[in-house]
């Protein structure tokens, strides 16, 4: 237990300690931020589930996991949950817990075992959310009782098949669908299903869900959800901000955990009024979000909203904001004046100042066209060439996933659906989960190709598909993508993005060499499952995963071996028939050739994953599935790629410890 009077004993309750391959991951970006900040500030951390609660000599206890950071940790304080480890397991009296964050994904209703025990924390400290707040937000039918005057889709509860039949008679038939939900849920899109009225086995389907959930909700399907939904976030009654969520391609639900895109959005006065009225209907809840449609219809209220969108879009740190408030209440520390603050600097974020300096002179915001959605945004250079410091063990380059094109250059290209064939579509979603110091181009590669020599190459040793310059892109039909020549000034302006990308990579390599004696760079791509265009394997089927090593010369052999062998072992258990190859058809592009120098402690590995491993390819003939992510496959691929990256990092560490 913490003996320092300025530090707290903090517990996190959830069904599991990790929901991914990480050792500690509560699978909620808001909670993970709070967990990270709690750890970074030195508080004692414990984790338990409802099943871990028990009485001993009349006192409520938990069989708790003790969590701690390594002694020499350094990381973004909002991301250091990635470094947390379980170091012990011991019984902890709940009366000694100062603060407990109650995710309650293993709580359904008031009959859940041990609810009376966890209330002990409310008597001695703070339980966020409280049991009362948790039960009210877990019951997805509660908003119809608490706020009947607020616009909502038609919603009915049922716990029998006859009750469900009666509800169906009252539901509007919008586009042939209705929504069926588990009545008791904690968000993230779990237990939410879209069902067809015309399903010939409709009542068998409903009966199946009744058997699974016992209590269900049948709700009107609102087609406008196809345009996305709005999220209004509140803390202690304060409206923080709104944002828009757009579902991932092929997905109808707008949950961030299912790949949705989060965009800034200012609620209209009417929307904000509705959101505030709904929040006021849940007075016990301190931290919650209201999910609603543009029309003002409220879909759900959820405790513990995600924090990633708020941070990336507005600089709002739920982790710092919540912990500032909790420390104020428990330790008497002064409250932070405003929620709209950048994350508190707990470790020297200034260590990235030299990296961010590369954006100096790129202050102009430009209008860009999303060639995938055909929407327009106004973004800065930091949005277009993005640097995302996660863990500092390696550098991750994602040069070809971009779908953005500066709108003023739109007329230079013949944009159509085939343009998407030139992009490593969703490779950012695939690879961002593996961590690293990430450099990501959000610009379409046919606009500026980051994986080409600045001046092109005439060397016969360079494969033909790598010979052109960054602005001389050739399509898979071996035709120039550029339909209208750039002026010299336009060419110069475009190449500034290219130079920025490579300046970031070069600076990060130098920084890692200086700080740990070596640098490991993973250059990440996706590819079509069959060779297309200016490649020597045109028309041939490819292995699912290709590791590029320039014939085992781009990195130390032990690093390559660790990466490849971990991939081989990682794909085996899933039984998906995934295959792996080295250097064929891609041994390494310009980034690999430019930066790899094992003799001088710079190790580079290129990774290519076929699109059909994690999505339905653009070349698929089934238009209903084209561009859709294969959600389960995506999670599997992220898991074995993350493990391979970590194995390569560990191999590098061992080499340089000798």
Distance CA 197, CA 183 (A): 20
Domains and CATH numbers, the chain: 1-129+304-347 (3.40.50.20), 154-221 (3.30.1490.20), 349-657 (3.40.630.40)
Distance of CA 236 to CAs 307, 339, 587, 629, Å? 16, 11, 55, 37
CB atoms within 10 A of CB 82: 17
Does pTM top 0.95 for this prediction? no
pLDDT for residue 27? 87
Distance of CA 308 to CAs 27, 195, 312, 527, 561, Å? 12, 30, 6, 28, 35
b (16+ CB within 10 A) / e for 120-157: bbbeebbbbbbbbbbbbbbbbbbbbebbeebebbbbbb
Euclidean distance between the first and the last CA atom of the chain, given in angstroms as a whole number:
38
- With H, G, I as helix, E, B as strand and everything else as coil, classify residue 492: helix
Element (H, E) at 92: strand 85-93
> Nearest 5 degrees, angle CA 59-CA 61-CA 65?
165
Angle of the 557-571 helix axis to the 631-657 helix axis, nearest 10: 150
Q: Shortest CA distance to 515 belongs to which of 82, 74, 69?
A: 74
- With H, G, I as helix, E, B as strand and everything else as coil, classify residue 561: helix
Distance CA 45, CA 67 (A): 5
Distance of CA 585 to CAs 133, 451, 589, 605, Å? 56, 16, 11, 15
Q: Shortest CA distance to 477 belongs to which of 424, 421, 528?
A: 421
CA 200 to chain centre: 37
Taking the chain (658 residues) in runs of 10, the rounded mean pLDDT of each run is 73 93 90 94 95 94 94 79 93 96 92 94 93 92 91 94 95 92 74 89 93 92 86 92 82 66 84 92 93 90 88 86 93 52 35 82 84 85 88 91 92 82 88 90 93 76 70 76 88 93 95 92 92 72 94 96 94 89 90 95 96 81 66 87 93 89
b (16+ CB within 10 A) / e for 243-276: bbbbbbbbbbbbbbbbbbbbeebebeeebeebbb
- With H, G, I as helix, E, B as strand and everything else as coil, classify residue 327: helix
pLDDT for residue 99? 97
- With H, G, I as helix, E, B as strand and everything else as coil, classify residue 562: helix
Distance CA 508, CA 209 (A): 51
Beta strands in 403-542 (DSSP E): 404-406, 437-441, 519-527
Distance CA 535, CA 541 (A): 12
Token pair of 193, please?
């299903």
* Cβ–Cβ < 8 Å for 580, 547: yes
Distance CA 232, CA 430 (A): 28
Distance CA 512, CA 514 (A): 5
Strand partners of residue 380: none
Q: For the chain, state the CA radius of gyration.
A: 26
Spatial neighbors of 44 by CB under 8 A, at least 6 apart, are 1, 2, 7, 8, 9, 10, 66
The percent of the chain in helix, strand and coil, each rounded to the nearest 5, is: 35, 25, 40
CB atoms within 10 A of CB 294: 16
Element (H, E) at 331: helix 318-331
Q: Shortest CA distance to 18 belongs to which of 41, 49, 42, 44?
A: 49
Q: Shortest CA distance to 441 belongs to which of 504, 409, 399?
A: 399
Spatial neighbors of 657 by CB under 8 A, at least 6 apart, are none
């Amino acid at each position: 237990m913490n003996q320092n009077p300025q530090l707290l004993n903090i517990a996190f309750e959830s069904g599991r300690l990790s929901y991914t391959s990480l050792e500690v991951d509560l699978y909620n970006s808001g909670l993970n931020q709070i967990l990270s900040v709690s750890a970074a500030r030195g508080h004692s951390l414990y984790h338990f589930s409802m099943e871990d609660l028990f009485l001993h000599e009349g006192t409520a206890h938990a069989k708790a996991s003790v969590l701690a950071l390594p002694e020499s940790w350094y990381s973004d304080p909002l991301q250091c949950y990635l470094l947390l480890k379980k170091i012990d397991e011991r019984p902890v009296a709940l009366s000694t817990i100062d603060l407990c964050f109650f995710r309650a994904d293993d709580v359904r209703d008031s009959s859940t075992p041990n609810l009376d025990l966890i209330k002990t924390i409310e008597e001695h400290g703070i339980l966020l959310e409280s049991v009362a707040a948790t039960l009210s937000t877990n019951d997805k039918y509660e908003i119809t009782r608490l706020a009947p005057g607020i616009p909502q889709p038609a919603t009915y509860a049922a716990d029998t098949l006859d009750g469900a039949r009666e509800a169906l008679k009252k539901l509007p038939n919008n586009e042939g669908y209705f929504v069926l939900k588990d009545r008791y849920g904690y968000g993230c899109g779990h237990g939410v299903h879209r069902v067809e009225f015309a399903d010939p086995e409709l009542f068998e389907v409903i009966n199946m869900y009744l058997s699974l959930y016992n209590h269900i909700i049948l709700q009107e399907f609102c087609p406008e959800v196809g345009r996305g939904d709005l999220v209004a976030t509140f803390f202690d009654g304060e409206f923080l901000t709104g944002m828009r969520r757009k579902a991932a391609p092929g997905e109808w639900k707008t949950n961030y955990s299912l790949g949705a895109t989060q965009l800034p959005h200012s609620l209209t006065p009417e929307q904000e009024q509705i959101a505030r009225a709904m929040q006021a209907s849940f007075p016990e809840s301190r931290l919650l979000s209201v999910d609603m449609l543009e029309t003002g219809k409220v879909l759900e209220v959820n405790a513990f909203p995600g924090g990633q969108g708020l941070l990336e879009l507005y600089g709002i740190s739920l982790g710092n904001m919540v912990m500032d408030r909790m420390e104020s209440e428990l330790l008497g520390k002064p409250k932070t004046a405003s929620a709209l603050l950048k994350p508190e600097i707990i470790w020297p974020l200034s260590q990235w100042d030299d990296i961010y300096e590369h954006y100096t002179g790129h202050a102009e915001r430009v209008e860009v066209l999303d060639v995938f959605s055909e929407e327009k945004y106004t973004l800065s250079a930091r949005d277009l060439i993005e640097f995302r410091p996660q863990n500092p063990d390696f550098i991750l380059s994602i040069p070809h996933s971009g779908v953005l094109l500066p709108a003023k250059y739109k007329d230079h290209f013949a944009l159509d659906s085939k343009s998407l064939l030139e992009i490593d579509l969703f490779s950012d979603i695939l690879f961002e989960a593996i961590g690293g110091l990430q450099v990501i181009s959000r610009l379409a590669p046919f606009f500026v190709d980051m994986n080409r020599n600045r001046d092109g190459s005439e060397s016969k040793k360079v494969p033909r598909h790598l010979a052109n310059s960054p602005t001389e892109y050739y399509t898979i039909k071996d035709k120039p993508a550029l339909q209208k020549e750039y002026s010299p000034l336009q060419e110069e302006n475009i190449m500034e993005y290219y130079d920025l990308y490579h300046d970031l990579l070069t600076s990060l390599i130098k920084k890692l060499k200086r700080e740990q004696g070596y640098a490991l760079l993973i250059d990440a791509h996706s590819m079509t499952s069959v060779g297309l265009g200016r490649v020597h394997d045109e028309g041939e089927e490819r292995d699912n995963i290709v590791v590029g090593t320039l014939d085992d010369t781009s990195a130390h052999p032990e690093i390559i071996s660790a990466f490849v062998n971990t991939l081989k072992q990682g794909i085996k258990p899933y039984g998906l028939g995934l295959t792996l190859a080295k250097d064929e058809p891609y041994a390494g592009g310009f980034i690999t050739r430019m930066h790899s120098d094992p003799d001088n402690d710079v190790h580079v590995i290129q990774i290519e994953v076929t699109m059909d491993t994690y999505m339905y390819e653009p070349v698929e003939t089934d238009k209903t599935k084209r561009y859709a992510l294969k959600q389960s496959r995506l999670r599997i691929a992220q898991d074995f790629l993350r493990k391979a990256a970590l194995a390569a990092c560990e191999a590098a560490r061992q080499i340089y410890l000798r």
